[in-house]
Copies of this chain bind each other. A is one copy, B any other.
């Protein structure tokens, strides 16, 4: 007799995981190390700690430790907005008429509106512990910047945010949330940094990109005493912190004896997907279980599905270390569409390696199809999803519809990373039927890839 699964599964407070899981410990092929762009040698702790907090550098470089205890102050902060619910999408299943069982891990029930807070509070904590004055960062859609503002406010740190210009203009209210939490927000590219000035001189009409905002934030960090740079995605440390998503989801599923067949997450830099799949991928790597894992990216910025696995700069300004990743080239600037935080040219080294090893799949979806899924989800499940998250919704719906054809009762888990309350300009375009799909041509991608640094060994 099947236990009736509630609509929402909340862990008890004492069931919130007390350690992060480092999937690298179980990877046979470790992710390629960051390289110093000058020497093409792996970045050392000493080199990294000029840019990042020291403890975070240790986490970045550690491919062996499987579990990192979560410091008590971070655990306390987590209690402010965690556990996040695991939701059974009964309403969506009914609307689709599918025999599939759909679950989603909802990370949007906090003012940052996304999962980004999970890593922001960790990074702010280590910055504070190191005695820093403040941190700098970039933000695309604004979730990361908001999350970091909240985290810095909690620890009394100064917070300087470079916000991708097209998001800054489309999402003026995000700026006010960040200001309410005490942050300084600058549209990027800006005249505040040398790299910003250079990019503006070359592309005066650019609407910006995450890669470009990263360059500015890094420059701002290394040129101000007492500051370090923090990043909301891509890095190993971020995926480590975000493992809380998957650990909680798995604990909630385990409580009811549920094993997912398919796990789906949207993928920009990889922070959400990497966090959601971590403990499941761990089981897969250790041969304890098997799962289909699907990364979903925007057709406008398809790093996994159309990019190249190669060393590249993490930023447009080419001042960051080189990372080996599936990339469209650091000079790739996606069209000014609304995929928000997924507008990043590369993919986290961990996920790139797992994908290259055939341990996960990837697909790209077009924007209008994504918003159709978002609208359906909003209407039946009640939550207006973020455009980013809606990429995962699209794929989950598609898989559920396949089950409808085949009659298979598969269990699908996807990550609902956040809410779309600050993305109403995009919804307005969709409602007005003026939204279009802009997909890069092969020539555009080839031209961008031609500028890859010569670092592959």
Contact = CB atoms under 8 A, between A and B. Distances in A.
B80 A173 contact: no
Contact of A383 (B79, B111, B378, B383): B111
Interface stretch (A3-11, A22-30, A160-168, A403-411): A3-11
Contact of A419 (B7, B8, B111): B111
A422 interface: yes
Interface string A18-48: 0000000000000000000000000000000
Interface string A371-405: 00001001111111000000000000000000000
A305 interface: no
A13 B110 CA distance: 21
Contacts of A182: 379
B111 A378 contact: yes
A238 interface: no
A251 to B, nearest CB: 16
A355 interface: no
A378 B180 contact: yes
A384 B177 contact: yes
Question: How many copies are assembled?
Answer: 2
A383 B150 CA distance: 9
B176 A424 contact: yes
Interface residues of A, number: 42
Given A91-B80, A381-B80, A421-B422, A431 B110 contact: no
Interface string A218-252: 00000000000000000000000000000000000
SS of A interface (majority): helix
Contacts of A113: 421
A64 interface: no
B378 A181 contact: yes
Given A150-B382, A173-B421, A421-B422, A180 B80 contact: no
A427 B149 CA distance: 15
A203 interface: no
A12 to B, nearest CB: 8
A428 B175 CA distance: 9
A180 B111 contact: no
Interface in A409-426: 419, 421-422, 424-425
Given A109-B109, A111-B378, A424 B177 contact: yes
A192 interface: no
Contacts of A180: 375, 378-379, 384, 427, 430-431
A256 interface: no
Contact of A176 (B6, B173, B427): B427
Contacts of A172: 424
Contacts of A378: 111, 180-181
A424 B173 contact: yes
A179 interface: yes
A423 B375 CA distance: 23
A15 to B, nearest CB: 11
Contacts of A7: 13, 79-80
A382 B181 CA distance: 9
Contacts of A154: 379-380, 382
A67 interface: no
Top 4 A-B residue pairs of the complex, sorted by shortest distance between their CB atoms = A173-B424, A176-B424, A7-B79, A6-B13
